[in-house]
Amino acid sequence: MQQPRHRIRGQRRPLALAGATALVIATMASASSTLPVASRASAGPVATPRGTGLAPCRIPTAMGVQMSEGVPTPPGYARSTGRIRALNLMVDFPDAEAKEPAADRLAEFFPQTSDWFRTSSYGRLTYTPEAPVKDWLRMPLPFSEYGIERGSPYEPGYRKMVKDLVTVADPKVDFSEYDLVNVLVTPNAGPSALDTVLSVTFSGNDDAPSADGVPLANTSFVYSRQDDGSGSYAETGYRVLPHENGHVFGLPDLYTMEGGGSVGHWDIMSEDWGANNDLLGWHKWKLGWLDNDQVSCAAMPGTSEHVLEPLATTGGPKLVFVPVSAQSGYAVEVRTADGNDEAVCRPGVLIYKVSSDVDTGQGPVAVEDSTEDSGGCTRRPNVHTELSDAPFEPGETFTDRADGIRISVLEKNPDGDYRVRVTRP
């Protein structure tokens, strides 16, 4: 077992621009050959058939990276296509007794989370939430005695909590029937999310406590409420759960210690507070929600032109990838205010660099800003303002002088498609 390394994000401030919340734990984020991979299929495309021309663009998972942006996702994570069964357990404590019905806590996240995944995956992921225990499960120890703190890995306190949870729930639950587990903690346990975000996911874990013969290898814990006081919580507060479950499917954190400044509100793995947002096209391909024929690989020297349809629409070409090295490249896609992307205030062509050798929480994705230092085009709470107008419009070009890459937006067609040109040495 590798020694766990903490992934802790900076202090959250009320109405902060900082993004989402999950604290991904080292050994839980690392795939292991000891996992029973036959029952846990890899998320996303396992292989690219020969003849597709995509091989140079499938930058591989980097060795030594806890949760890599490489393709394919290693074994051990939950399936990201088809029907998955999500076990939901509502938990409280002797020193933090729930003040509301357990059904109300469950309703904070469902059916919204299922709807979000259905929209984002174009119907390829059927997320089925189940709650076989309808009431709160009372833990045997006070919350304060478990020692749950920000960034706490699967150390003795957390391990004790999980084992106690299994003891309390196991008589009523067959854990082997489910693909992932959500532990929805009573919001009055621990500090407010405005002070410290405790929500955490253990994913791809080869050393998790077991129940009913299976390891709890993909488990998300949600604490407190991400309520910034803006009045948007009822509509958007659930989004912490699809973010946490993104880790269960093998996606890294895209925020950094400084907040959401690398990707902003262009992916829920970056910012999950405030207005709704979707996943990047790279993540959709990685999860198997985009087919290989919806992706173009601009790997050859010279100039190539590509037509892209908005990412929010079903079908059609969605992603161009321009490899720069064996472990990095630029992704190009069209983002509009449709589907899960309600906060888009400047539609256009989004360009971002993906690096498979950069770890979760350290900036594995970086969005290129077409309007640097503009101040952005939105003032919605908890949407990273500066990157809100990052997309490129017709007539604009992104240039990477160091690698000789030019990506130009040529035109927007009447039907909403964009034509782009890629030039490379």
pLDDT confidence of residue 382: 86
The domain in which residue 309 lies consists of: 282-424
Domain for residue 390, yes or no? yes
- Same domain? For 304 and 210 the reply is no
In the predicted model, what is the mean pLDDT of residues 11-17? Answer: 29
φ/ψ (deg, to 5) at 14:
-55, 135
In the predicted model, what is the mean pLDDT of residues 385-396? Answer: 97
CB-based burial label for 415 (10 Å; 0-12, 13-18, 19+): exposed
pLDDT confidence of residue 63: 86
- Same domain? For 224 and 338 the reply is no
pLDDT tens, position by position, 48-106: 445 568 999 999 998 889 899 999 998 889 999 999 999 999 999 999 999 999 999 99
Domain for residue 2, yes or no? no
Instruction: Provide the residue count of the chain.
Output: 425
φ/ψ (deg, to 5) at 120:
-65, -35
pLDDT tens, position by position, 219-259: 999 999 988 888 888 899 999 999 999 999 999 999 887 66
Q: β-pairing, 210-211 with 214-215?
A: antiparallel
* Number of separate domains in the chain: 2
Statement: residue 11 has pLDDT above 70 = no
pLDDT tens, position by position, 106-140: 999 999 999 999 999 999 999 999 999 999 999 99
Domain for residue 392, yes or no? yes
d(CA 68, CA 74): 9
Q: What is the reported pTM?
A: 0.89
Average pLDDT, the chain: 86
Domain for residue 82, yes or no? yes
φ/ψ (deg, to 5) at 143:
-55, -40
Domain for residue 261, yes or no? no
In the predicted model, what is the mean pLDDT of residues 321-342? Answer: 97
- Same domain? For 106 and 193 the reply is yes
Other Cβ atoms within 10 Å of 148 Cβ, number: 18
- Same domain? For 60 and 155 the reply is yes
Domain edge (last residue) among 252, 273, 301? 252
Domain edge (last residue) among 200, 231, 252? 252
- Same domain? For 166 and 87 the reply is yes
| pLDDT band at 340; cut points 50, 70, 90 | very high
pLDDT tens, position by position, 133-153: 999 999 999 999 998 876 555
- Same domain? For 238 and 373 the reply is no
Whether the CB-CB separation of 237 and 226 falls below 8 Å is answered with yes
- Same domain? For 224 and 358 the reply is no
HSE-CB for 145 with a 13 A CA cutoff = 11
pLDDT confidence of residue 53: 86
pLDDT confidence of residue 259: 65
pLDDT tens, position by position, 166-215: 999 999 999 999 999 999 999 999 888 888 889 999 887 777 788 999 98
- Same domain? For 399 and 345 the reply is yes
- Same domain? For 193 and 55 the reply is yes
Mean pLDDT is lowest, of 25-39, 277-291, 327-341, for 25-39
pLDDT confidence of residue 204: 79
d(CA 47, CA 60): 11
pLDDT tens, position by position, 255-274: 887 666 899 999 999 999 88
In the predicted model, what is the mean pLDDT of residues 360-371? Answer: 95
Statement: residue 4 has pLDDT above 70 = no
Domain for residue 346, yes or no? yes
Tokens standing for 266?
A: 């262009």
Domain for residue 277, yes or no? no
Domain for residue 358, yes or no? yes
- Same domain? For 242 and 357 the reply is no
Domain edge (last residue) among 235, 252, 269? 252
- Same domain? For 235 and 111 the reply is yes
- Same domain? For 193 and 286 the reply is no
pLDDT confidence of residue 152: 57
